[in-house]
């Protein structure tokens, strides 16, 4: 029997690849996206156009936070799984336009949870972020760590959605997994992300800006690895409290709700990341070193033990392989 999934943010970077993976697995997919102008809308339209080549994909162009949009979709389709990726992204932009984060991340997630309360799916998977770990300095980050010191408003809204989801899981017994992903990169990525900006600048002969004077590291996660983790988690449904000892502190004691990191567990120094891009392009970057930007953190590092325990899979793509794939896509897409 064919299963049906809702993927919010389906014209986005992660949403596109997640929807594609589900279609390839035989799912019917309803994709919701507002096609906002936060970055190049043409890129989003191209992603949706590729998904629409599959008869199993239905595109809905609406804002997540619009009242009754999600309620009506849930009522019509009776989703087996919901993968919530739609959000206003970006640590730095949240300083300039915080209201957009309230509307998309908080109000939008509220509308989603209300729809799920009325028409419960078998499992909901909601995207969070490594940014919720904030000022934590003990690494690698584990799901059981306290997350009480977010460094950006973006991170604060994502932590709030974790709390909102937990309350609905407890009150209405809707199984919910929050997955925290770590700096995702790859083909068809967002133009505001580092690998995209660095590649564009190097190919254009422009300098790149390197924050914290290069003394940063990230748990870079290749898009295929992230999507493999997300789709594998669909059938790892959080049980009711007290029945799943493998989760430890990541499983709520009072709700079918768990948190899962999706990261490589192998942080990469920023300068090594830049060198991988230079090698893939075959050209050195002009470098401008700057101080740390507000809201940013010097390092991220995932403990992916739980992901592997639950799904048998964990991210494995080497940074050199992933960056080469991105640069090859970029050159082809932009004909550079």
Catalytic residue, from 133, 141, 154, 168: name it: 154
Q: Report yes or no: 38 and 244 within 8 Å, Cβ to Cβ.
A: no
Three-point CA angle 26, 30, 35, nearest 5°: 130
Spell out the residues 6+ positions from residue 78 whose beta carbon is closer than 8 angstroms to its own.
Answer: 4, 119
Instruction: Quote the CA–CA distance of 67 and 316 in Å, as a whole number.
Output: 40
Instruction: Quote the CA–CA distance of 47 and 35 in Å, as a whole number.
Output: 11
Task: Write out the H or E segment, with its range, that includes residue 23.
Answer: helix 13-24
Instruction: Quote the CA–CA distance of 121 and 249 in Å, as a whole number.
Output: 24
Residue 8 phi/psi, 5-degree rounding, is: -85, 145
Q: Report yes or no: 260 and 180 within 8 Å, Cβ to Cβ.
A: yes
- Look at residues 43, 2, 50 and name the one whose alpha carbon lies nearest to residue 26: 2
Q: Report yes or no: 262 and 229 within 8 Å, Cβ to Cβ.
A: yes
- Omega before 140 cis (within 30°)? yes
> How far apart, in Å, are the Cα atoms of 297 and each of 34, 88, 92, 125, 212?
30, 19, 12, 26, 9
In this structure, are strands 176-181 and 123-129 parallel, antiparallel, or unpaired? parallel
Instruction: Quote the CA–CA distance of 324 and 312 in Å, as a whole number.
Output: 27
Q: Which residue do the tokens 């993976």 mark? A: 21
Active site residue 101: no
Instruction: Quote the CA–CA distance of 55 and 53 in Å, as a whole number.
Output: 6
Output Rg (C-alpha) for the chain, integer angstroms.
19
- Look at residues 1, 189, 155, 169 and name the one whose alpha carbon lies nearest to residue 82: 169
For the annotated catalytic residues, the residue numbers are: 154
């Amino acid at each position: 029997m064919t299963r049906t999934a809702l993927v919010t943010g389906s014209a986005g970077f992660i949403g596109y690849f997640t929807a594609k993976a589900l279609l390839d697995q035989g799912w019917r997919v309803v994709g919701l996206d507002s096609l906002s102008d936060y970055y190049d809308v043409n890129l989003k339209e191209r992603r949706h156009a590729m998904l629409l080549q599959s008869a199993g994909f239905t595109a809905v162009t609406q804002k997540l936070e619009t009242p009754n949009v999600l309620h009506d979709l849930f009522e019509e389709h009776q989703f087996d799984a919901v993968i919530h990726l739609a959000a206003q992204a970006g640590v730095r932009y949240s300083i300039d336009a915080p209201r957009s984060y309230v509307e998309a991340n908080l109000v939008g997630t509220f509308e989603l949870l209300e729809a799920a309360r009325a028409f419960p799916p078998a499992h909901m998977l909601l995207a969070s972020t490594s940014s919720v770990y904030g000022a934590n300095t003990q690494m690698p980050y584990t799901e059981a760590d306290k997350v009480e010191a977010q460094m950006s408003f973006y991170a604060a809204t994502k932590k709030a959605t974790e709390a909102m989801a937990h309350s609905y899981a407890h009150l209405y017994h809707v199984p919910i997994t929050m997955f925290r992903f770590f700096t995702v990169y790859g083909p068809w990525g967002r133009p505001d992300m580092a690998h995209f900006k660095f590649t564009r600048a190097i190919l254009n002969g422009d300098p790149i800006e390197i924050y914290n004077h290069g003394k940063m590291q990230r748990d870079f996660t290749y898009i295929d690895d992230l999507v493999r983790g997300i789709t594998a988690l669909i059938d790892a449904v959080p049980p009711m409290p007290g029945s799943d000892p493998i989760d430890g502190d990541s499983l709520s004691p009072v709700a079918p709700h768990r948190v899962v990191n999706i990261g490589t567990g192998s942080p990469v120094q920023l300068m090594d990341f830049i060198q991988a891009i230079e090698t893939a392009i075959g050209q050195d970057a002009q470098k401008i070193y700057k101080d740390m930007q507000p809201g940013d953190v010097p390092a991220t590092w995932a403990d992916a033990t739980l992901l592997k325990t639950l799904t048998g899979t964990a991210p494995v793509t080497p940074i050199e392989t992933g960056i080469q794939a991105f640069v090859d896509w970029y050159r082809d897409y932009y004909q550079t």
